[in-house]
């Protein structure tokens, strides 16, 4: 098996696509492997609208960043045809290795999204050696597609908590479906309090859920949260999570300890200074 056959199998190319040429350039930094793909001469292509086999009208050169070949950057090049359909006119076909409009292959985007689940976007962009702006475009595409398919019709128990996103009292409020064992986070919004609850209620309604179906909310004792639940999740009962109960109890206990220490004095200090041996 020669190199072309190995690369063809690795890319998963199927008719009419064939690997025409490959070139490894070690004179640039980082090193790069360029793979050139073409369709076999005389091939017919399915119309993107109806699937009818059509001849090519013209071609456009396209390039996609692929997964690294060992330590080398890898780029896939292809002449992508436009079909000339008698019913739908001239249409650009979709290639099997990349989504329309993307500069990356599907496998590259899959690897990027797997890393983004575990690491900050900036760290992933450095590891993949692309700009964070380009990576954010990938993230926004797939998150947007996921949100379009999100079904929250069965959400009845919600967990709510805020966390500081940066210094200066800037918060992000996170909402969880308490009945989900895996990937329970269903919504996050900048800010906290009543406005965050209102935003979640609207998001829930927009994705098949019903705020009136929420029967329990687990949150802290923030008056703003409690007010928001009363107004925007009217059928829900509030359960205060144990962490905040213990935190509040510990804080009050510490306040009593400090007060008694001030009033009674430190036990050691009450004994007075130690006498020097005579």
Question: Are the CB atoms for 212 and 178 separated by under 8 Å?
Answer: no
Residues 77-129: pLDDT tens digits? Answer: 999 999 989 999 999 999 999 999 999 999 999 999 999 999 999 999 999 99
Q: Give the least confident one: 161-165, 200-204, 271-275.
A: 271-275
Residue at token pair 């639940």 = 229
CA distance 155 to 218: 13
Question: Nearest-5° angle of CA 85, CA 90, CA 96?
Answer: 85
Distances (CA, A) of 204 to 220, 235, 239, 243: 21, 14, 20, 26
- 0.85 exceeded by pTM: no
Q: Which residues of 53-73 are buried (b: 16+ CB within 10 A; e: fewer)?
A: ebebeeeeeeebbbbbbeeeb
The average pLDDT across 130-143 equals 97
- Strand bridging mode 185-190 / 216-219: unpaired
What Rg value do the Cα atoms of the chain yield, rounded?
30
What pLDDT is recorded for position 3? 84
What class is the 157-242 domain?
alpha beta
Where are the domains positioned within the chain? 1-97, 105-149, 157-242
Of 21, 10, 116, 4, the C-alpha closest to 69 is 10
Query: Which sign does the torsion angle of CA 196, 199, 204, 210 carry?
Result: positive
pLDDT band, very low/low/confident/very high, at 273 (cuts 50, 70, 90): low
Could you tell me if residue 157 is left (phi over 0), alpha (psi between -120 and 50 degrees) or otherwise beta?
A: beta
Question: Are the CB atoms for 235 and 213 separated by under 8 Å?
Answer: yes
Query: Which sign does the torsion angle of CA 129, 130, 133, 138 carry?
Result: negative
Question: Are the CB atoms for 155 and 213 separated by under 8 Å?
Answer: yes
Residues 164-218: pLDDT tens digits? Answer: 876 766 889 999 999 998 889 999 999 989 999 999 999 999 999 999 999 999 9
Q: Which residues of 81-113 are buried (b: 16+ CB within 10 A; e: fewer)?
A: bbbbbeeeeebebebebbbeeebbbeebbebbb
pLDDT band, very low/low/confident/very high, at 267 (cuts 50, 70, 90): low
């Amino acid at each position: 098996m020669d190199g072309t056959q190995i690369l063809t199998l690795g890319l998963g190319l199927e008719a009419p696509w064939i690997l025409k040429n490959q070139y490894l350039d070690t004179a640039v930094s980082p090193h790069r492997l360029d793979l050139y793909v073409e369709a076999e001469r005389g091939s017919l292509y399915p119309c993107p609208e109806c699937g009818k086999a059509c001849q090519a009208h013209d071609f456009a050169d396209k390039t996609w960043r692929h997964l690294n070949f060992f330590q080398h950057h890898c780029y896939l090049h292809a002449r992508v045809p436009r079909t000339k359909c008698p019913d739908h006119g001239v249409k650009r076909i979709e290639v099997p290795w990349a989504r329309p409009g993307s500069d990356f292959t599907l496998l590259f985007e899959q690897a990027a999204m797997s890393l983004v689940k575990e690491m900050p976007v900036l760290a992933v962009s450095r590891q993949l050696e692309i700009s964070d702006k380009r990576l954010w475009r990938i993230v926004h595409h797939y998150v947007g597609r996921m949100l379009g398919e999100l079904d929250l019709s069965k959400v009845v128990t919600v967990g709510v908590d805020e966390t500081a996103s940066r210094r200066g009292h800037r918060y992000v409020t996170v909402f969880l479906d308490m009945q989900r064992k895996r990937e329970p986070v269903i919504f996050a919004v900048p800010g906290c309090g009543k406005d965050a609850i209102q935003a979640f209620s609207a998001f829930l309604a927009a994705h098949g859920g019903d705020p009136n179906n929420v029967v329990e909310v687990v949150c802290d004792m923030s008056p703003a949260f409690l007010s928001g639940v009363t107004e925007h999740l009217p059928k829900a009962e509030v359960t205060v999570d144990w962490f905040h109960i213990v935190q509040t109890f510990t804080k009050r206990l510490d306040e009593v300890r400090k007060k008694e220490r001030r009033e009674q004095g430190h036990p050691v200090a009450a004994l007075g200074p130690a006498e020097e041996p005579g």
